[in-house]
Structure 1
Amino acid sequence: MLKKIFLIFILVLSLNSCSKKDVAYEPKDRVNPYKLYQEGFEAFEKGDYFYADKKFTEAELNFEIVDFAAKSAIMSSYSLYGINFYSDALINLERYLKKYPTDNNVMYAHYLIAIIHYEQIQDEKRDLQPLLDAKKKIEFFLKKYPDTDYAIDLEFKQDLIQNQLAAKELYVAKYYISTQKWVPAINRLKVIVNDYEKTVFIEEALHRLVEIHYYLGLKEESEKYAKILGYNYNSSEWFEQAYKVLNKDYKIKKKVKSEDSDSFFKKIINKIK
């Protein structure tokens, strides 16, 4: 999906550049900026991103036509992205947005910024900041450009981020459970229930809340979370385990979900198709 979107964008840039050969401009210092751009584009297509970045940068400096300068700048950014120079690519993109705020490819720049932040996510257990940065950039894009092909890709990535954030909360909650720190454990689990209810971790979070409250003698609270779990996820193993906590002799009757209650991820997959 990502490669396809980038390919379409690059082809548009190439076709646009060819269609404007007849536009008159005065190159600086007798350097032909169009030639520099073409050299950069040819290098880019061959995968020589270092050389492509060099030529696109030179082209931008020599173009007096704003549209071409802007295209050179964003192609330079994508070249840097191609060699995983993420920090340099982000700096270049931010500069592009400030220098060419009305350019036709501003949306793509915001998309690439979101993608770069997303690809810098590594281990959420060690460093949560890249995850939060990616979440922020993706949310910005989806709010500003909701009905685009890029949005479909980012919506899926947003769901993955939500799951990673929920996983982090559950990881910390389990640590607190293992050390019998019940209040912070409950608080972490409630974050999942309130903020990440569409993630795959919601069922286990509800089950843990049933367990903890039952252990603390708070039977009504325990039953409340068991009912929520049963109402929404009555065919899951976590539902079965939760009711075993409350009633050792309970036998679950699994129900078949209706088509209207398909999982969130199934809806996303169908949407992408």
Structure 2
Amino acid sequence: MQFKIILKIFVISILIYSCSKNETKKSTITQKSLDLQILEAYQEGMKNLKEGDVIFAAKKFNEVETMFPQSIWAPKSSLMAAYSYYVQDYYSEAIAELVRFKRVYPTHNNLDYANYLLSLCYYEQIVDETKDLESILNSKQSFESLINNYPNSEYSIDAKFKLDLIEDILAAKELYIGRYYLEKKKWISAINRFKVIINDYDNSIYVEEALHRLVEIYYIIGLKEESFKYAKLLGYNYRTSKWYEQSYKIFNKKYEIKKKERQKEKKKEIKVLNKFKSIFD
């Protein structure tokens, strides 16, 4: 009787061990299968991206993230989906992906890259200074955020360069509007636009013209001292500029006459030199 009890315990132990082993094996196989599915979906996305089918590539990357949100591949796939849209200029889709990435993965180590790519999406939609300001301002804000939050990032170097270009574009827009007001003789509105360039975009290439326009307007409306102040400022900083020459003409009415006289004298000198040179030919 005792033997039967011992045998029964032994058989039960074997069955428990066997089930436990099968369960472990099943779990291992499932895990391997899961990893394989993730890898296959990601690789398929990369393959389609290289072949130029960005829509399907983005779909496969999104599939990885949706099916396996806890995987380390999820945030990477999200970024790759955004990049897939970006390379084919689907900026709205790329921006939507990147905004979501920043919300879902606020502490991810590639957040600087996400911010950089988002900035580029805005930046590359800039047409020129006469068009809508939205893309320009969004790009400026996004690049500034990148530089402030990730000053040591490799992407911040290019962000600083692009910010300089954006400032030139914003200054150009102010100049474009200022010229319009000047043409329409809306003096105060024009003055305000040109002053924005001097005060806010003093490193831009448009400061010289903005200073000259202020010289011009103040002279026209009879504020000679104010006009002279800006002419002096222009001469101090940009003495060799063509705009300083234009401003100088405003205060020296005989300048153009003297300039023509100098040009005539120069032509005479050249004729004499050519004549002298012909002696030795």
* 2:105 aligned residue: 100
How far apart, CA to CA, are the structure 2 residues paired with 1:37 and 1:127? 38
Correspondence list, 1:32-51, <5 A: 32-51=37-56
**1:167 aligned onto 2:172:** yes
* C-alpha contact 2:41 2:63 (8 A) present in aligned 1: yes
* Structure 2 counterpart SS, 1:122: coil
Q: 1:29 to 1:146 in 2, by over 3 A?
A: closer
* 1:69 aligned residue: 74
How far apart, CA to CA, are the structure 1 residues paired with 2:46 and 2:221? 66
How far apart, CA to CA, are the structure 1 residues paired with 2:61 and 2:88? 15
1:198 Cα shift?
A: 0.8
* Structure 1 counterpart SS, 2:31: coil
**1:60 aligned onto 2:62:** no
* C-alpha contact 1:31 1:62 (8 A) present in aligned 2: no
Paired letter, 1:189 = F
Q: 1:176 to 1:25 in 2, by over 3 A?
A: farther
What TM-score, normalized by structure 2, do the two folds share? 0.76
* 1:261 aligned residue: none
How far apart, CA to CA, are the structure 2 residues paired with 1:147 and 1:30? 35
1:70 Cα shift?
A: 0.6
Structure 2, unmatched stretches of 5+, are: 1-28, 260-281
**1:150 aligned onto 2:165:** no
Deviations 1:183-238 (A, max 9, x none): 11111110111011111110000001001111111111111101111111111111
Q: 1:72 to 1:27 in 2, by over 3 A?
A: farther
How far apart, CA to CA, are the structure 1 residues paired with 2:66 and 2:33? 9
Match of 1:209 among 204, 211, 214: 214
**1:80 aligned onto 2:74:** no
1:150 Cα shift?
A: 1.3
- Which structure shows the higher helix fraction? 2
The alignment-based identity, stated in percent, is 49
Match of 1:237 among 237, 242, 245: 242
1:85 Cα shift?
A: 1.8
How far apart, CA to CA, are the structure 2 residues paired with 1:87 and 1:182? 40
* Structure 1 counterpart SS, 2:126: coil
**1:198 aligned onto 2:203:** yes
Higher mean C-alpha deviation, range 50-59 or range 40-49:
40-49
Name the structure, 1 or 2, with higher relative contact order (CA <8 Å, separation 6+): 1
How far apart, CA to CA, are the structure 1 residues paired with 2:228 and 2:71? 65
Q: What is the number of residues matched between the two proteins?
A: 229
How far apart, CA to CA, are the structure 1 residues paired with 2:44 and 2:101? 21
How far apart, CA to CA, are the structure 1 residues paired with 2:238 and 2:152? 31
Q: CA RMSD in A?
A: 2.2
Paired letter, 1:224 = K
1:126 Cα shift?
A: 3.1
Paired letter, 1:53 = A
Paired letter, 1:164 = I
What TM-score, normalized by structure 1, do the two folds share? 0.78
* C-alpha contact 1:25 1:65 (8 A) present in aligned 2: no
